[in-house]
Amino acid sequence: MAGQIPDLHAEARTGTGKGAARQARRDGMVPGIVYGGDVDPLPINIPYNALIKRLKNGRFLSTLWNLKVEGQDDVRVICRSVQRDVVKDLPTHIDLLRLRRTSRISLFIHVDFINEDKAPGLKKGGVLTVVRPEVELNVVAGDIPELITVDLEGMEIGDIVHISDVTLPKGAKPTVERDFVIANISAPSSLRASEDEEAEEVAADEVETVAESEASDD
């Protein structure tokens, strides 16, 4: 779904080597290279401020990008390395890998919850606890889902949604082998507090009963 793939803008770098890279940094750019896909490597420069913003947003290395370079066809890439200054920890170079439409990659996909109004547990005051708002899936680059859907219809308090309960898009599979939890419907805090109080009262009664029994034995 190319429409949902974020754009990453860059410009072709005419020079190569350390001299050209240093000049790029002086010009407020981060030098990089695009390789793979049975095409010659392409030296590029990415605006420093734009790259910093992307890096701060997180998961830069696990995001599929639509690379836009003037004079070049758009290409899907994924970052394989961001080199940083050892002292300032700022990006000094970036490596991008071209992907074919048939390439498989691992990406975090958003989880969408539907039919909350048809979940009896929520109508009773239960709370939807989302454990994983995103799920890492191994997918085909040419058929990346925008999201995966969790249907809450019929769910009661105490019900749990595992990854095995979700219908994944064709060709997608979780990167984690175990049947992990995505969400659950938990009891409202007032009900949990009441249950805790009841449990404490039961425990206190048991202690009192044991004490009385021991006293009678004496």
Binned at pLDDT 50, 70 and 90, residue 206 comes out as low
Over the range 99-115, which residues count as b (16 or more CB within 10 Å of their CB) and which as e?
beeebebebbbebebee
Which parts of 27-63 are beta strand (E)?
29-35, 42-47
46-85 residue pLDDT tens: 999 999 999 998 888 888 899 999 988 999 999 989 999 9
CA-CA distance, 217 to 148, in Å (whole number)?
64
Report the relative pairing of strands 7-12 and 104-114 from DSSP bridges. unpaired
Residue carrying structure tokens 């695009």: 34
pLDDT of 210: 45
Residue 172 has pLDDT above 50, yes or no: yes
pLDDT of 169: 86
178-192 residue pLDDT tens: 999 999 999 987 655
| 145 or 122, higher pLDDT | 122
| 18 or 3, higher pLDDT | 18
Residue 2 has pLDDT above 50, yes or no: no
Between CA 50 and CA 78, with CA 133 as vertex, the angle to 5 degrees is 40
